[in-house]
Structure 1
């Protein structure tokens, strides 16, 4: 799946990937911290979605959402928690 999301600060990509790995590991997934993006294959396998490395143009948007939704949703929840903690400290 191509990355169409553009982060505002490209230098943050590495930290976002680390956050992804930490969050998904906490959710019980087997995450390779050197390649946290690989967790999407485990999620796809659980959902019965034929995700492969390379071009996955045959996937429907529903299938792609079932893969990316748990990852992105859990990352957003964690970022909100982090922001709330920072606000409490101020």
Structure 2
């Protein structure tokens, strides 16, 4: 079994990242009623269902790299774009002060 190496560099940021994950999934979903406020980690299952990837809780060893990328790329890529936008906005606000 593979070990998870993903760790937050700033553990205090977990709540804010979970909130961002919820915002991103709500913006990118076809169904406006989708909410992940109960458990933000369920966002990947929502995305998987939308793109037709059979992602299950637990072992997903049968998924291809392409299928896994459809899920992770869509969610993670959107989160990174949003973080870059926020950083650019903060930098422009600091330059105006």
Q: What is the TM-score with the length of structure 1 in the denominator? A: 0.84
Q: CA deviation at 1:65?
A: 0.8
* Structure with max Cα Rg: 2
Q: Which has the higher contact order (CA 8 A, sep 6+)?
A: 1
1:60 aligned residue: 64
Q: CA deviation at 1:3?
A: 4.7
2:78 aligned residue: 74
Deviations 1:30-68 (A, max 9, x none): 122121221211221222211111121221222111111
Q: What is the TM-score with the length of structure 2 in the denominator? A: 0.78
Give the distance between the partners of 1:24 and 1:41, measured in 2 at CA. 11
How large is the RMSD of aligned CA atoms in angstroms?
A: 1.8
Q: Which runs of 5+ in 2 are unaligned?
A: none
Moved over 6 A (4+): none
Aligned pair count? 89
Q: Which runs of 5+ in 1 are unaligned?
A: none
Give the distance between the partners of 2:7 and 2:50, measured in 1 at CA. 27
